[in-house]
């Protein structure tokens, strides 16, 4: 464990880091100093540069400018392996455990126990020792034969943390560790973090939940637009203040929102429910209107959007599209009713990376271009028009979509539905992983859609973005709509408070 005598010195120090991807700057002069023995919170909105910063520390990215110091020594070429040797360990999501392994096997993979003097695995020993560790740190006892695949997300998370603990870490980096935990488990995690901290382990804690940060950390650094805007002792601040710092007023003017008078109701959702995910969700969406949905992971907002597009089958309630009640849970039926979904996981569901711009653009509207045989010049013309209209930057309509930047890929995903002449657009986190310039173009596009009489529903965790582009915002919490705000009469802080449960700490749990 760490040497407490040197407590207070910087164990991780990043100075004026600049990191560019292509043309876009993900970090533009960010600094972060984590002191030995502290529990340091790192917060910022999506796109503020948190993940880039963490990857720099993990040795997965290299800074273009600036220095990275660990334990007082500057490193030019950090590798994941070297970082671990220096005692810095990362708690990642459950994705890095072998699903067919038992807990003991997963914990000890790579440093297995053997029967002394033989080459054979001591499975009983690994089982005993892992049960011991889990019991000691988490009060958790799992069946001996339990496989990773059979564990809950929280239990997997705990196994991950235990793996790091076995290595005697100096610094533990937690990246959104409670996203998948219920309250009791989250409480256990916090107890553990406090205990580790008392034993001298330094903790860097990244979270969306401001309540947790205030509860747990002694210091917090706020990132905004690739810079650190403040590093404060938590004792001297509050969740609301931190929220205010995260919010970016500077690009507030960049939302080119046209003034559109909403027309008739085209989407009427009444008491929609999906057991275990959301319940009693009702709202109406009009022509020319832009409606915002927001909420944490698991709050039900995303699940509502999936149900509307027919990806999940709701267990109750009604959906009327242009006055007609919809029964089938089938994306094909949804698109026939001129619904469009731009999914969050763009690279998996939104665009086919190894198809060309043209092939992607016309995929949902091929019947417009084919009577038996595809009229390739017609689909090309259509694509060229859309490329021009959406200002998609590409080497040409025959370029593979994987060669485009994230923002331009997103525009292709939208172009696909413009080509289909969709009328109701469901945009799920439309600007995730997109640089500022492309974001603004996507905002402009949303405005343009509304102007042309489309109805747009934007699901986003970026609150300013929602305030900028929408007319109304619905906040989801624990599977239902808890608040509705007119976008022009509210502040980011107010919404953030409702979304994150900052009023009551750890209210998200459940």
> Considering the complex, what minimum distance in angstroms separates the CB of residue 486 from other proteins?
28
Which of these, 316, 315, 311, lies nearest to 334 by C-alpha position? 311
The residue whose two tokens read 């045989």 is 373
* Number of alpha helices (DSSP H) and beta strands (DSSP E) in the chain: 16, 22
> Considering the complex, what minimum distance in angstroms separates the CB of residue 67 from other proteins?
21
Footprint on residues 462-491 left by other proteins (CB under 8 A): none
Site string for other proteins, 347-366 (x = CB under 8 A): -xxxxxxxx---xx--xx-x
Which of these, 391, 305, 389, 288, lies nearest to 340 by C-alpha position? 305
448 belongs to the binding site for other proteins (CB under 8 A)? no
Choice between 260 and 434, CB closer to other proteins: 434
Choice between 341 and 386, CB closer to other proteins: 341
- Of positions 86, 90, 446, 481, contacts other proteins by CB under 8 A: 90
> Considering the complex, what minimum distance in angstroms separates the CB of residue 363 from other proteins?
5
The residue whose two tokens read 């464990």 is 1
Choice between 186 and 260, CB closer to other proteins: 186
Footprint on residues 140-199 left by other proteins (CB under 8 A): 145, 147, 149-154, 156, 175-177, 179-180
Q: CB-side exposure of 500: number of CA atoms within 13 Å?
A: 27
95 belongs to the binding site for other proteins (CB under 8 A)? yes
Q: Which two tokens stand for residue 322?
A: 């242009």
- Of positions 7, 28, 46, 491, contacts other proteins by CB under 8 A: 46
Footprint on residues 107-146 left by other proteins (CB under 8 A): 109-110, 112, 114, 119-121, 145
Q: What is the DSSP string of 404-445?
A: S-HHHHHHHHHHHHHHTT-SEEEEESTTTT--HHHHHHHHHH
- Of positions 1, 74, 98, 437, contacts other proteins by CB under 8 A: 98
341 belongs to the binding site for other proteins (CB under 8 A)? yes
Q: How many Cβ atoms sit within 10 Å of the Cβ of residue 353?
A: 15
Phi, psi of 152 (to 5 degrees): -75, 165
> Considering the complex, what minimum distance in angstroms separates the CB of residue 94 from other proteins?
5
Region near other proteins per CB under 8 A, out of 224-232, 245-253, 372-380, 480-488:
372-380
Region near other proteins per CB under 8 A, out of 12-20, 232-240, 281-289, 324-332:
324-332
Q: How many residues form the binding site for other proteins (CB under 8 A)? A: 84
Contact 89, 161 (CB under 8 A): no
Pure H helices in 16-111: 50-58, 80-85, 103-108
Q: Classify residue 16 as left (phi > 0), alpha (psi -120 to 50) or beta.
A: left
- Of positions 10, 18, 60, 166, contacts other proteins by CB under 8 A: 60
Choice between 51 and 219, CB closer to other proteins: 51
> Considering the complex, what minimum distance in angstroms separates the CB of residue 489 from other proteins?
29
Helix/strand/coil (H/E/C) assignment for every residue in 56-83: HHHCCCCCCEEEEEECCEECCCCCHHHH
- Is the sign of the CA dihedral 327, 333, 338, 339 positive or negative? positive
- Of positions 58, 267, 387, 454, contacts other proteins by CB under 8 A: 58
> Considering the complex, what minimum distance in angstroms separates the CB of residue 488 from other proteins?
29
CA distance 204 to 195: 14
230 belongs to the binding site for other proteins (CB under 8 A)? no
- Of positions 74, 124, 374, 437, contacts other proteins by CB under 8 A: 374
Region near other proteins per CB under 8 A, out of 24-32, 92-100, 244-252, 446-454:
92-100
Q: Which two tokens stand for residue 361?
A: 């653009």
Q: For the purposes of burial, counting CB atoms within 10 Å of the CB of 224, is it exposed (0-12), middle (13-18) or buried (19 or more)? A: buried
Q: What is the DSSP letter of 153?
A: H
> Considering the complex, what minimum distance in angstroms separates the CB of residue 92 from other proteins?
5
Strand partners, 474: 293, 484
Choice between 126 and 449, CB closer to other proteins: 126
CA distance 44 to 226: 9
Site string for other proteins, 288-317 (x = CB under 8 A): ---------xx---x--------x------
- Of positions 6, 20, 35, 55, contacts other proteins by CB under 8 A: 55
Contact 134, 156 (CB under 8 A): no
């Amino acid at each position: 464990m760490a040497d407490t005598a040197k407590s207070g010195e910087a164990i991780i120090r990043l100075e004026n880091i600049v990191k560019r991807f292509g043309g876009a700057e993900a970090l533009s002069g960010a600094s972060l100093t984590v002191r030995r023995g502290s529990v340091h919170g790192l917060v910022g909105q999506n796109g503020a540069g948190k993940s880039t910063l963490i990857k720099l520390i993990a040795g997965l990215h290299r800074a273009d400018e600036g220095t990275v110091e660990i334990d007082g020594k500057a490193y030019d070429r950090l590798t994941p392996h070297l970082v671990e040797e220096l005692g810095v360990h990362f708690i990642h999501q459950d994705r890095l455990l072998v699903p067919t392994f038992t807990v003991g096997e997963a914990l000890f993979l790579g440093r297995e126990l053997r029967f002394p003097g033989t080459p054979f695995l001591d499975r009983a020993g690994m089982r005993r020792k892992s049960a011991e560790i889990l019991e000691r740190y988490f009060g958790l006892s799992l069946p001996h034969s339990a496989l990773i695949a059979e564990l809950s997300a929280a239990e997997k998370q705990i196994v991950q943390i235990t793996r790091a603990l076995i290595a005697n870490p100096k610094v533990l980096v937690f990246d959104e560790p409670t996203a998948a935990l219920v309250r009791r488990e989250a409480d256990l995690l916090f107890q553990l973090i406090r205990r580790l901290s008392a034993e001298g382990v330094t903790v860097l804690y990244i979270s969306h939940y401001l309540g947790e940060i205030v509860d747990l950390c002694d210091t917090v650094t706020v990132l905004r637009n690739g810079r650190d805007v403040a590093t404060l002792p938590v004792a001297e601040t509050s969740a609301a203040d931190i929220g205010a710092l995260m919010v970016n007023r500077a690009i507030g003017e960049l939302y080119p929102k046209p003034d559109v008078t909403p027309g008739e109701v085209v989407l009427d959702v009444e008491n929609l429910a999906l057991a275990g995910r959301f319940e009693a969700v009702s709202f109406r969406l009009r022509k020319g209107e832009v409606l915002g949905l927001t909420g944490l992971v698991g709050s039900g907002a995303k699940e509502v959007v999936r149900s509307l597009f027919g990806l999940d089958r709701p267990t109750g309630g009604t959906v009327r599209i242009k006055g007609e009640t919809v029964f089938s849970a089938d994306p094909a039926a949804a698109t026939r009713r001129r619904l469009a979904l731009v999914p969050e996981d763009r690279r998996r569901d939104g665009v086919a990376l190894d198809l060309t711009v043209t092939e992607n653009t016309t995929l949902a509207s091929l019947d417009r271009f084919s009577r038996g045989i595809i009229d390739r010049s017609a689909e090309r013309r259509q694509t060229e028009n859309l490329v021009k209209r959406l200002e998609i930057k590409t080497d040409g309509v025959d370029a593979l979509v994987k060669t485009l930047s994230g923002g331009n890929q997103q525009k292709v995903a939208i172009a696909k539905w413009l080509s289909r002449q969709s009328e109701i657009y469901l945009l799920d986190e439309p600007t995730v992983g997109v640089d500022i310039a492309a974001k603004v173009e996507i905002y402009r596009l949303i405005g343009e859609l509304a102007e042309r009489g489309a109805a747009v529903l934007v699901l986003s965790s970026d609150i300013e973005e929602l305030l900028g582009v929408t007319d109304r915002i619905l906040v989801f919490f624990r599977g239902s709509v808890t608040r509705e705000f007119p976008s022009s009469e509210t502040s980011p802080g107010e919404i953030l408070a409702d979304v994150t449960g900052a009023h009551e700490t750890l209210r998200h749990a459940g």
